[in-house]
Structure 1
Amino acid sequence: MDALVTGGSGFVGLRLIRRLVEDGHVVRALARSDAAADKVTEAGAKPVPGDLSDFAILAEAMSGSDVVFHSAARTSRGGGRDAFERDNVTGTRNVVAGARRAGVRRLVHVGTEAALMTGQALVDVDEAAPLRPDSPAPYAASKAKAEQVVLAANGEDLETVVLRPRLVWGTGDSTVLPELVAAVQTGRFAWIGGGRHLTATTHVDNVVLGVLLAAERGRPGEAYFVTDGEPIVFRDFVTELLATQGVTAPGRSMPELPARIATSAGETLWRRLGLSGAPPLDYMSLWLSSKECTIDIGKARTELGYQPIRTRAEGFAELRA
């Protein structure tokens, strides 16, 4: 097939491009900078200059594509609510409009379990759980709204499918692992409430598999969760993840209640004063570090034929190497 990838220079996007090229597909990737163009070229895709701000440019980039893989998103902790709305919501609307104008057959959107989060635990959650565009976390709210845009766009002229991984990790990660290492090295790391809750995870290779299966077999207008399979104790996962970089996880812990109070105060202060960056502890980091998140992937197993291809042990070994 002929495919276009947004976010191709990112963590998931680069892995996806390499897999598509290995499988013999023609791949183009949106590139908003020379550095991004160099990355996607190295991965085997043809770079197409542009970004998510103009659907006409997107439509031109998508011309001739059978499938568009939309993996571009703002994930950084800073930037403010307006930046998340612009990049994740308006950007996704432009991707949908561009795909329609270009006559694309199918759009696969890389979503996230965060689209369901408002601060509650997610226990054995499945696709029937409601999206939460009202989330106090700008990232979560924007990804919920983006998914609503994608699913509402499904129709005879454009098939849309959403894939939702949880806690994406592996070689090439430029967000989760580097931030954990930096927190330990600067003395800011602490387990919240002991960190002994269960969490789902999704190795980047398992994400890419899910994305490809969604393109091939996903029912139009549907969303699918994918993970590494059985959940793991958050503390055990993070300890092993840090160890792959030669970093020892500290034993320091703080109760959840003070962490929640500090997070709420910091988020409010940053929002009201329009401060740059992110507060020391933001909503998404708090929820990741303190709330159970376990996911039922039965729908993906049944309808997509999904089965994780990369184990955690294999992923940890790759990171060590």
Structure 2
Amino acid sequence: MNNSTSSLSSAASLPARLFLTGGSGYVGRNLIRHFTALGVDVRALVRSAEARRVVEAAGARAVEGDLFSPDLRAGMAGCPALVHAAADTRHGLPSAAQHRTNVDGTRHVLVAAREAGIRRVVHLSTESVLLDGGALVQAREESVPPRRPVGGYSASKAEAERIALAMSGEGFDVVAVRPRFVWGRDDTTALPQLLDAVDGGRFAWIDGGRYRTSTTHVANLAHGIERALLAGVPGESYFITDADDVEFRAFVGAMLATQGRTVPDKVVPGWLVRGIAAAGEGVARLTGGRWQPPVTRQVLATSAVEVTLDIGKARRELGYAPPVSREQGLLELQSARAG
């Protein structure tokens, strides 16, 4: 690694214009707000009228198309930088549709970006590229993805990251950012799913939930992506999380409390849930996917064991310093509900 290329020079500046995929999603909306507040002209790819409404309300200029549009290169014209945040994040069984979006879509977007003259790319990856179902304790970026990923999401995102980083070179700089458990304001992913499970009486702590977890407030993720654009070493990946780890049960309980929910006491043994997941996936394969299991090993890998990440590399090379504390983020959630 040539650390001279990661110098945190004050001469580094954000691009005047940025192309964004996945702009209507939870992370994407927050990226639009973050970069437009910094004076960046954001162009966001949209494939529906609703997506257009969302990205324009957030402050971006909508560009019609999808990850495979033949005129994608034309839409990227004049943008020196790209943030590729679009992905199929479902944690169900592996599917051809998910592979097409995450793997083939990433390849097509980056080829178009290179042909359009984009010089700098941040690929939004995930800690899930390292998950095999076991605990992940203070993982570092040099950890090798498992030979047998825990599920389709992990497998497709790992392949997508490999493709993205392999394309870096010759004036086309690609950096990958790996957050874990994204949460915070405007959350339309993790928190609504937790609330639905609690309100539906389906929530239980696996093995008591006393294991540790890393988390990433969405504002910290936006800051990390900004720093990756400015200072990331081409071809490298970076974990981006909140400043410290937390007990999974304590954090999820605190999130639920901001929404006026009492933390459930129900506990189920991990061996039982993992057995149900393995059996259910087997039955689903036998039915050709016509029957879907109630829980998958992919879901359990992210929520039933310790998953903690070391962000020392991002601190050193990117100058990453999480601007939002966990306490501030929780107060923000509580205030949003009260408002």
TM-score range, shorter chain: over 0.9
Cα deviation, 1:111-137, whole Å, max 9, x if unaligned, reads 100011011111111001012473131
* Kept after mapping to 2: 8 A contact 1:131/1:144: yes
Going from structure 1 to structure 2, the CA distance change for 1:277 and 1:24 (only over 3 Å counts) comes to farther
Q: CA offset at residue 259 of structure 1?
A: 0.9
Please report the TM-score for the alignment, with normalisation by the length of structure 1.
0.96
CA RMSD of aligned residues (A): 1.4
What pairs up with 1:28-107 in 2 under 5 angstroms? 28-54=43-69, 56-78=70-92, 80-107=94-121
Partner of residue 26, structure 2:
11
Partner of residue 236, structure 2:
222
Cα deviation, 1:2-50, whole Å, max 9, x if unaligned, reads 1000000111111111111111111100001000001111111110011
Report the 3-state secondary structure (helix = DSSP H, G, I; strand = E; otherwise coil) of the residue aligned with 1:123: strand
Counterpart check, 1:122 vs 2:112: no
Gaps of 5+ in 2: 1-15
Q: How far apart, in 2, do the equivalents of 1:43 and 1:106 lie? A: 23
Going from structure 1 to structure 2, the CA distance change for 1:143 and 1:79 (only over 3 Å counts) comes to same
Q: How far apart, in 1, do the equivalents of 2:308 and 2:151 lie? A: 20
Partner of residue 157, structure 1:
171
Q: How far apart, in 2, do the equivalents of 1:193 and 1:88 lie? A: 32
Please report the TM-score for the alignment, with normalisation by the length of structure 2.
0.91
Q: CA offset at residue 310 of structure 1?
A: 0.5
Q: 1:300 aligns with which of 314, 327, 330?
A: 314
Cα deviation, 1:240-260, whole Å, max 9, x if unaligned, reads 111111111210101111111
Gaps of 5+ in 1: none
Cα deviation, 1:239-289, whole Å, max 9, x if unaligned, reads 011111111121010111111100111122223323368521122321222
* Kept after mapping to 1: 8 A contact 2:92/2:152: no
Q: How many residues align?
A: 320
Percent of matched pairs sharing the same residue: 46
* Kept after mapping to 2: 8 A contact 1:133/1:142: no
* Kept after mapping to 1: 8 A contact 2:135/2:305: yes
Report the 3-state secondary structure (helix = DSSP H, G, I; strand = E; otherwise coil) of the residue aligned with 1:155: coil
* Kept after mapping to 1: 8 A contact 2:21/2:84: yes
Partner of residue 38, structure 2:
23
Q: How far apart, in 2, do the equivalents of 1:129 and 1:276 lie? A: 36
* 2:214 alignment partner AA: A
Report the 3-state secondary structure (helix = DSSP H, G, I; strand = E; otherwise coil) of the residue aligned with 2:138: strand
Cα deviation, 1:203-248, whole Å, max 9, x if unaligned, reads 0000000001000100100000011021100000110111111111
